[in-house]
Amino acid sequence: MKVGMPITYAGDFRETIAHLRDFESVGLDRVMVPEAYGFDAVSQLGFAAATTERVELAFGILPMFSRSPTNLAMTAAGLDYISNGRCVLGLGASGPQVVEGFHGIKYDAPLGRAREHVDICRTIWRREKSEYHGQHYHLPLTEEDGGSGLGKPLRMMNRPLRDRIPMLLAAIGPKNVALAAEIFDEWQPFLFHPELAELAFGEALASGRAKRDPELGDLGIAVQTFLLITDDENAQSAALQGVRNHVALYVGGMGAKGKNFYNTLFSRYGFAAEAEAIQALYLQGKKEEAAAAVPQDFVRSIALIGSAEHIEARLSAYRAAGVSCLIAEPLAETHAERVDHVGQLKSLTG
């Protein structure tokens, strides 16, 4: 099982990248940089590539709507080249708040667009001509498609280091999860509860895997979690409260009633009544009460917070759920402690 770590665009990113070498030295396998509506992830991972030697560089995630499929293929190939084969192209749909509100692009057909992104990216990396006619993307754009008719099929000028860069889909909805299991190299869920994963995702994963090309190999599962290794019960309690607040924000506040994907996921886990209560409280502005309504067992199960013995036991549950990479956010107060905890986790994962 690989150990990854998210880094954000908040604070002094240059200092964060300088510290990244310390994490790499204790065995960190992957660093993941998100992109929403702050600094772009491409520039930052390019910077990370120049200051690291071994760690994988994962986009976590690039919204599909803000770049064309061929642009994403070029971006991934460029990062893969300068990093000597360390790129992981993480894609996701984001949401209408960002796609329409920040980019001014219509948010439609995320499922179909994701499938066409995969087809086009792999075509470009194989240096085949840019000939593709799907429902959403047309290469080249013909007069019939609304173009000038002057476009011609082109091959990528540079030769990519790899003709199949790993592609990851961030997804929690059943149809998107099934698509990830069918055609992507990795799947990245959210609020992942290993013991309840079969209940929430099992049917979708089975459906996608039944259609999966054996040449793709096994589906990787990259799971985000939180990390704090300590016997201090007060420190554990404070960290778990932070996780509880995080869950309440997504289950309660990310979207209107009936239009919150995370709330729906919480219901699929078997917490329908709790999901309704958390959302009602959160939308009334009662954020503390909403957080208090998140079950303690759920909070402890999605985080790696506790003694080394407790975390080792939790890793067994993640392995049983098929997790191949843990994207663990270290919560310790000091940099030295965070590096130590990532190193301990790497040792525990073997």
What are the pLDDT digits (tens) for 134-184? 999 999 998 988 899 899 999 999 999 999 999 999 999 999 999 999 999
Say which range, 76-90, 198-212, 253-267, has the weakest mean pLDDT.
Answer: 253-267
Say which range, 94-98, 180-184, 344-348, has the weakest mean pLDDT.
Answer: 94-98
CB 140 within 8 A of CB 118: no
The torsion region of residue 26 among left (phi > 0), alpha (psi -120 to 50) and beta comes to: alpha
pTM of the model: 0.95
Phi, psi (5° rounding) for residue 263? Answer: -65, -40
pLDDT at 95: 84
CB 255 within 8 A of CB 229: no
Q: Which residues, in sequence order, are bridge partners of residue 169? A: 91, 187
Among candidates 266, 220, 230, which has minimal Cα distance to 246?
266
Q: Which residues, in sequence order, are bridge partners of residue 120? A: none
CA distance 301 to 193: 6
What are the pLDDT digits (tens) for 105-123? 999 999 999 999 999 999 9
The torsion region of residue 146 among left (phi > 0), alpha (psi -120 to 50) and beta comes to: left
Which token pair is 98? 């960002």
What are the pLDDT digits (tens) for 310-322? 999 999 999 999 9
Helix (H, G, I), strand (E, B) or coil at 330: strand
